[in-house]
Amino acid sequence: MNEFSSQDLFAKISQMTQEDEFFLPLPEGYQKGRTKYVIVMGTVMSGLGKGIFSSCLAKLLQDKGLRVAPIKLEGYLNIDSGTLNPYRHGEVFVLDDGMETDMDLGTYERMLDQNLSRANFATSGQIYSSVLHKERHGDYLGRDVQMIPHVTGEVKLKLRQLAMSAKADVVFVEIGGTVGDLENAFYIEAMRELAYEEGPHSTCFVALTYILEPKTLGEQKSKAAQLGVKQLMQMGIQPDIIVCRSEKPVREQARQKMSVFGNVPLERVVSMHDSASIYAIPAMLRECGLDFEVIRMLKIEDRINLGYERKEWGRWCDFTDKIGRETKSVTIGITGKYTSVRDSYASILNALEHAGIHLGCKVNVKWIETTTVKESNAAEHLRDVDGIIVPGGFGVRGIEGKIACVRYARENGLPYLGLCLGFQAAVIEYARNVCGLKGANSTEVDPKCPDPVIDVLPEQKKIEGLGGNMRLGGRDVEIKPNTKAWELFGKAASVRMRFRHRYEVDPRYIETLEKSGLVFSGKAPNQPIMQILELPNHPFFVGTQAHPELTSRPLRPHPLFTGLVSAAIKRKG
């Protein structure tokens, strides 16, 4: 890089003194230039699909035999996404290690078929906390701690640690929000520094932007996109690729304008227009040759395996070829209280899509706001669905509506899948209407109810803090033989599932519930914690304290969702 090379810089760091301006914390054994970085940033507005684009491009490189590792950098000061309202930020996605992240990590896990960890997610809150912790412990050798180089250095350290732990050929870095967001400024500066330090052919910058097409004008307008890219360039970053989001394919004229004003070759200005399924986007990017453009820019042609790619791409195409060719259709009702924001249930929608494609069935969704549902009108809300899902949630609002939906499904043979709170609602409904415990409830809803069939277990009550006493992340579940769950999971003795909850079935009521016919077909090993329930004489009535939607993958749909959709198909006939 000009006269002062990045090799000189790395040598300089190793003998840094208090007078030096270079500050570059490196993981032990890190090799400069070994791992490449693709950095995806957004302009014009958020919510354009940076995570979708990044995961799709990562998949194309993964299919070529490269080891990829994604990371999402979020600008908010929360330590994690656990306390964010779904109305504000969509669903909370829980990783196997218990990290609560935003929904983009779900997109990465599904597209790459990887189990990610807290190493793949960072917030400003995490970065600042780490810097302040190091400052208190004297790690900065008495220097005044500043945004540059210490905060930006912490960001780069996070990326390099991921590169080392994942042994990645390419790390995909997604910066949340947009370039113009004040809280993203230090992330963007860190990326500029990263490119400088790593040297030529080490980084590829992608600007994801939006091409407007006002209906009153009837033509595509790129000025907002141009200004967004210009803002990125003013921050010291020249994009290598411009991805144009739009409702319809971006026309040649708009691409040419973006090429000229963004200083990017036309072949690297690509259209990523709306698609019927996000699983069609890898093919869209592949057709315009974007995967090989990135490989050439990063000089990693010698690492790819075209034989492996042919096999993996064939498997993916076998899956995507089924999309839109379904011969059957069913309607599944999702009965929740966040139904006005579809992103609140993103993983459930994906899991239903996976199951539907696997079974050759188009799964339509009917949104049912449970705050308006009562036992007196449940039939009216549910009469035109072939199955229902009662999803997870927290708090009191909408719970009685969910319980009314459970009762209707149980009494009318309607296929039912309860997730987390839906599992608890099924226990409450059964206790009330079958076991005769009219005062049955959850202590979350009514702390003084006479029959707290759902409660915080004693060992959890000892843990202080709103998020501290949650059961989070992956847990093994013992499966009871000769049950519906046992059949669905391929007669496995145990399965791994992910959890995010605080309340459990109170062990004092288990015997009463089982004597009345409820079967607990899954439990925690060596603990009286019930995790899957079912009704044996029902077409499909299954609830789980877990969140199976979090581990459903395109090529491996989750058995509980395929079971629900299959039962809905049979019901519809």
Among the listed residues 354, 358, 381, 547, the single catalytic one is: 547
Q: What is the pLDDT of residues 119-142, one digit of tens each?
A: 999 999 999 999 999 999 998 888
> What does the DSSP assignment read for 302-331?
GG--HHHHHHHHHHHHHHHTTTT--SEEEE
Strand positions, DSSP E, 298-435: 328-336, 361-369, 387-390, 416-419
Asked if pLDDT for residue 82 goes beyond 90, the answer is no
Tally of CB atoms within 10 A around 384 = 9
The CATH number of whichever domain residue 244 belongs to comes to 3.40.50.300
Amino acid residing at 571: R
Token pair recorded at residue 164: 């080392």
- What is the overall mean pLDDT for the chain? 91
Task: Give me the mean pLDDT over the 431-456 stretch.
Answer: 94
CA–CA separation, 165 and 191 (whole Å): 20
Q: In what order do the strands lie in the sheet with 68-74?
A: 121-123, 68-74, 170-175, 36-42, 203-210, 241-246, 269-273
CA–CA separation, 111 and 80 (whole Å): 22
Q: Is residue 348 part of a domain?
A: yes
State whether 98 and 189 are in the same domain. Answer: yes
Task: Give me the mean pLDDT over the 53-75 stretch.
Answer: 97
Q: Is residue 11 part of a domain?
A: no
Q: Nearest Cα to 193, choosing from 337, 24, 48, 29?
A: 24
Phi and psi, residue 245, nearest 5°:
-80, 145
| Of the residues 318, 345, 377, the one at which a domain ends | 318
Task: Give me the mean pLDDT over the 18-46 stretch.
Answer: 87
Among the listed residues 420, 429, 444, 504, the single catalytic one is: 420
Q: Is residue 5 part of a domain?
A: no
My answer on whether omega of the bond before 548 falls inside 30° of 0, hence cis, is: no
Q: Is residue 397 part of a domain?
A: yes
Give 296's pLDDT tier (boundaries 50, 70, 90).
very high
The secondary element (H helix, E strand) that includes residue 196 is helix 185-198
Task: Give me the mean pLDDT over the 377-402 stretch.
Answer: 89
State whether 334 and 313 are in the same domain. Answer: no
Asked if pLDDT for residue 11 goes beyond 60, the answer is no
- pLDDT for 21 equals 67
Task: Give me the mean pLDDT over the 512-526 stretch.
Answer: 96
Q: Nearest Cα to 57, choosing from 217, 147, 211, 170?
A: 170
Q: Nearest Cα to 470, choosing from 91, 83, 125, 127?
A: 83
State whether 544 and 477 are in the same domain. Answer: yes
Q: What percent of the chain has pLDDT over 70?
A: 92
The secondary element (H helix, E strand) that includes residue 476 is strand 471-479
State whether 272 and 334 are in the same domain. Answer: no
CA–CA separation, 259 and 280 (whole Å): 25
Asked if pLDDT for residue 563 goes beyond 90, the answer is yes
State whether 292 and 336 are in the same domain. Answer: no
Phi and psi, residue 416, nearest 5°:
-135, 135
The total domain count for the chain is 2
Asked if pLDDT for residue 261 goes beyond 80, the answer is yes
| Of the residues 318, 341, 373, the one at which a domain ends | 318
Active site includes 288?
no
The CATH number of whichever domain residue 379 belongs to comes to 3.40.50.880
- pLDDT for 437 equals 96
Q: Nearest Cα to 421, choosing from 459, 455, 394?
A: 394
- pLDDT for 463 equals 47
State whether 311 and 369 are in the same domain. Answer: no
Active site includes 547?
yes
- pLDDT for 17 equals 47
Q: Is residue 13 part of a domain?
A: no
Task: Give me the mean pLDDT over the 38-67 stretch.
Answer: 95
Per-residue 3-state assignment (H helix, E strand, C coil) for 261-301? HHCCCHHHEEEEECCCCHHHHHHHHHHCCHHHHHHHHHCCH
Give 86's pLDDT tier (boundaries 50, 70, 90).
low
- pLDDT for 464 equals 42
72, 176 Cβ separation under 8 angstroms: yes
Q: Nearest Cα to 399, choosing from 426, 418, 371?
A: 371
C-alpha dist (Å) from residue 305 to 222, 302, 309: 38, 8, 6
Q: Which residues form the domain of 165?
A: 35-318
Phi and psi, residue 528, nearest 5°:
-85, 50
Asked if pLDDT for residue 550 goes beyond 80, the answer is yes
Global pTM reads 0.91
State whether 307 and 345 are in the same domain. Answer: no
Q: Is residue 211 part of a domain?
A: yes
| 54 backbone φψ class: left, alpha, beta (φ>0; ψ -120 to 50) | alpha
Lowest mean pLDDT among 91-95, 455-459, 516-520: 455-459
Asked if pLDDT for residue 9 goes beyond 60, the answer is no
Token pair recorded at residue 541: 């009535």
Tally of CB atoms within 10 A around 21 = 8
- 530 in helix, strand or coil? strand
